[in-house]
Structure 1
Amino acid sequence: MALSTSFTDSERIALEKVMRLRRDVRRFRTSPVDQKTMDACLTSFSLAPSVGLSQPWRIVDVISDNARAAVLDNFETANTRALRGYTGDTAKLYAGLKLAGLQDAPIHLAVFCDEATQKGKGLGAGTMPEMRRYSVVCAIMQFWLTLRTYGLGMGWVSILDAPRLKADLDIPDDWQLVGYLCIGHPDSEGLDPELEQLGWEERLPCPKPETR
């Protein structure tokens, strides 16, 4: 199928809409996600840019009760440790934040970067090896936006001990964690980030590039 390389105003508006409605979701409905829908969303990974065309993303579907329990305990331990880094009103606010949807989200995906992949023949990664991980981040972002177009939400859990998670999930040594993703139907919709709504931080306006 031939695709037009130009975009209409309505298509640009649609792109802005999906970016505005993309939220880091922490509150999910427990209803299951149709597998065909998930498969359609996962195809976005194959369309993502990657350094040297290395496609270094490795995706683990975390489905067993034991594995999910280990991830939840990992999060709770890391979250308790993180709380100790705050004091006063900030600590009180942090303690009241819901920072992960681990118990409700029907789908958990752990996404890793294969640092030892031979695909791409090292192009670009020889000088900047971190570009492999950046490639995985780009792929996750495309996946995130695609999920939104299907009415699904995603939460990116960053309060985790990555080495412990790798050990608990029996992950190869050369794979490095990039994102632990909770996916499902959002419990509510909104344009504003929850952290902004709760007064944790404010979104900055469009940055102005510096000149050199």
Structure 2
Amino acid sequence: MEFTPQDRETFYNILFSRRDVRSQFTSEPIDDAVLERILNAAHHAPSVGFMQPWDFIVVRSLQTRQAIKAGFEQAHHESALMFAEDKQDTYRRFKLEGIVEAPVGICVTCDRSRNGPVVIGRTIKPEMDRYSAVCAVQNMWLAARAENLGFGWVSILHDSVLRAALSIPEHLDILGYMCIGHVTHFQPQPELESAGWLDRTPLSQVVHYETWSE
């Protein structure tokens, strides 16, 4: 299969317009066929030794989402205190999740025991299974953007909150809780960039040729 220049342009448009959505969600439901396409895209991510260590818990219950939101509020309060005093107020003003606003949540887990203790490609770097599950999240994120849906990764949550709310077994690693839904609009820039929290690092500062260079 060979892709056309138009295909390539579409791919890069999707990639560069992807956003971590927090505050633009609407209550419009997601069509089941669309959600299945997005989950199937995630399930086709690359994985070390083809072990496919991921699972996806789809959450629609408002009561469950409210319980997760309460856990976020506690973790958000704890997190604010970790920043320097002159940044704490700014941090608190950011909206960093859309747990209740988004009609669907997806919790992504990694089963590190899947397919046995010895997996091709994980023999020297055992953390490769976690990286594989992160690839599934990226696939899901890009697929959601291609479907014109917003997607946000909530990492400010204690695992214990998600285990209790979603009955997640202790042997599974939890990557995070994803919010997904229709949105009023997509921001032209990442919100933390437009708010002046951090700037995008120039590509020239993160690419090295042949050896590490300062």
Code of the residue aligned with 1:209 in structure 2: it is H
Question: Does 1:39 pair with 2:40?
Answer: no
The answer (yes or no) to whether the contact 1:111–1:177 under 8 Å persists in 2 is yes
CA 1:92–1:164: 2 relative to 1, 3 Å: same
Q: Counterparts of 2:88 and 2:209 in 1: how far apart (Å)?
A: 35
Deviations 1:146-166 (A, max 9, x none): 111111010000101113322
Q: Does 2:20 match 1:24?
A: yes
Q: Which moves more between the two structures, 39-48 or 62-71?
A: 62-71
CA shift, 1:107, in A, is: 0.4
Is 2:8 the partner of 1:9?
A: no
Runs of 4+ in 1 over 6 A off after TM superposition: none
- Partner Cα separation in structure 2 for residue 119 and residue 145 of structure 1: 30
SS of match in other structure, 1:172: coil
Structural mapping, 1:26-105, within 5 Å:
26-27=22-23, 28-105=25-102
Q: How far 1:119 sits from its partner (Å)?
A: 6.5
TM-superposed CA distance for 1:201, in Å, is 0.9
Q: Distance in 2 between matches of 1:190 and 1:164?
A: 30
Displacement after TM superposition at 1:88 (Å):
3.8
Pairing partner for 1:186 from 183, 188, 191: 183
Distance 1:171 1:155 in 2: 21
Tell whether 2:167 aligns with 1:145: no
The answer to whether 1:130 aligns with 2:161 is no
Aligned partners of 1:88 and 1:186: how far apart in 2?
Answer: 33
CA RMSD, Structure 1 to Structure 2 (Å)? 1.7
The 1-side partners of 2:73 and 2:86 are apart by: 21
TM-score, scaled to structure 1: 0.92
Equivalent residue letter for 1:178 = L
Farther off after superposition, 70-79 or 115-124: 115-124
Q: Residues 149-185 of structure 1, C-alpha deviation per residue, up to 9 Å, x if partnerless?
A: 1110100001011133223321112111112100001
- CA contact under 8 A between 2:68 and 2:161: conserved in structure 1? no
Describe the superposition over 1:59-88 as per-residue Cα deviations: whole angstroms up to 9, x where unpaired: 111233442222111100000001112244
Structure 2 residue ranges without an equivalent (≥5): none
- The runs of 5 or more residues in structure 1 that have no matched partner are none
Q: How far did residue 118 of structure 1 move?
A: 1.4
Q: Which residue of 2 aligns with 1:106?
A: 103
Quote the residue 1:208 is aligned against.
207
Whether the 8 Å contact between 2:192 and 2:198 is mirrored in structure 1 is yes
- Structure 2 distance, partners of 1:77, 1:46, is 32
- Residue 96 of structure 1: how far off its partner (Å): 0.7
Contact 1:113–1:178 (CA<8 Å) still a contact in 2? yes
